[in-house]
Amino acid sequence: MTLTLARVAEEIGARLDGDGDRVISGLGTIRSAGADQLTFLANPRYRSWLETTSAAAVLCREDEAAACPVNALVVDDPYLAFARISHHFDPAPARPPGIHARAVVADDARVDDSAHVGPNAVIEEGAVLEAGVVVMANSYVGAGAHLGRQVTLWPNVTIYHGVDLGDRTIVHAGSVLGSDGFGYAPDKGHWHKVAQAGGLRVGADVEIGAACTLDRGAVEDTVIGQGVIMDDQVHIAHNVEVGDHTALAGKVGISGSTRIGAHCLLAGMVGVVGHIEICDRVQVMGLSMVSRSIREPGAYGSSLPVDEHAKWRRNVARFRNLDDMYRRLVRLEKRIPGEDSTPGATE
């Protein structure tokens, strides 16, 4: 794929400072891009590489354009512009319409003529694959599942019975959607399984990373809103609701019956307990445990930052003594004349 800089500028609405006939044939980083590649500068941390870049052109903001030694494409948001143009250079091979001879498709499954079903894929009875669906090798689509237009399942994806995927949703390799939630009733030292009678509904334009697990609901459906993005190894338990355009980074785990609002960001390895609510526009820092509802937008965190090991051990030891230190402080304050004791303090 090749593009002229004039076409790039027109497509992303950039101002071009340079040669519109210059041709690019790939993408690169600002440090390593070659003479036929397009790059971008979005993070000021990499500003020092701008003056020495060998790229054909740089996507940059107005305040960086004067320092750019090559062609400049001036935009308000260089990373967004880069994202938009990057799809022209996606190396993923096209999947032609048709059902592979080694695929297994039930007689009453509905597969649009424009869909692709790869080798060893299985499409069970009553499943529906709309226009442009791609089901790659070894993937499984259960009975009564519905895949909206242009849904893509990468290899070895498992879609359980009755799961509904919205248009243009992408599910990466090894993910499992619609498996049973962790529902058991205790009885005299034994566990009795609760039938997971709900379903899983995933909105349009969702992207689900590799090796994710999204459980079906126990009674009502598990629901993933539109435009949600998930990194690899995310787990969504039964009856969870995730609001539109929320982002979940790697290894996030959300326990059952929790509601996550719209436009939230949960960073890597965040854990969320069950039966709570997180409102819209909340950011939770990596490795944090959310153990109560969050009702005000903003940034939250609970993990300890990395530190020099000996100092970290001392701080952990002090943290263990924090309650005792607090109680001692309350007793001392009570002995100081004219000083009020700490409100609500109890021994």
pLDDT per residue of the chain (347 residues) written in tens, 0 to 9: 999 999 999 999 999 999 999 999 999 999 999 999 999 999 999 999 999 999 999 999 999 999 999 999 999 999 999 999 999 999 999 999 999 999 999 999 999 999 999 999 999 999 999 999 999 999 999 999 999 999 999 999 999 999 999 999 999 999 999 999 999 999 999 999 999 999 999 999 999 999 999 999 999 999 999 999 999 999 999 999 999 999 999 999 999 999 999 999 999 999 999 999 999 999 999 999 999 999 999 999 998 888 999 999 999 899 899 999 999 999 999 888 765 555 554 44
Q: H helices then E strands: how many in the chain?
A: 5, 39
Q: What is the pLDDT of residue 106?
A: 98
Q: What is the pLDDT of residue 338?
A: 66
DSSP annotation of 30 reads T
Q: What is the pTM of this model?
A: 0.91
Contact between 159 and 140 under an 8 Å Cβ cutoff? The reply is: yes
Q: What is the pLDDT of residue 304?
A: 81
Q: What is the pLDDT of residue 35?
A: 96
Whether residue 238 lies in the annotated active site: yes
Q: What is the pLDDT of residue 340?
A: 57
Q: What is the pLDDT of residue 99?
A: 98
Domains and CATH numbers, the chain: 3-89 (3.40.1390.10), 98-300 (2.160.10.10), 309-347 (no CATH)
Backbone angles phi, psi at 40, to 5 degrees: -145, 160
Q: What is the pLDDT of residue 164?
A: 98
Query: Cβ contacts of residue 137 below 8 Å, gap of 6+?
Result: 118, 119, 120, 121, 155, 156
Q: What is the pLDDT of residue 305?
A: 83
Distances (CA, A) of 190 to 196, 238, 256: 19, 21, 21
Marked catalytic residue, from 238, 263, 275, 309: 238
Taking alpha carbons only, the member of 14, 36, 12 closest to residue 24 is: 36
Contact between 238 and 275 under an 8 Å Cβ cutoff? The reply is: no
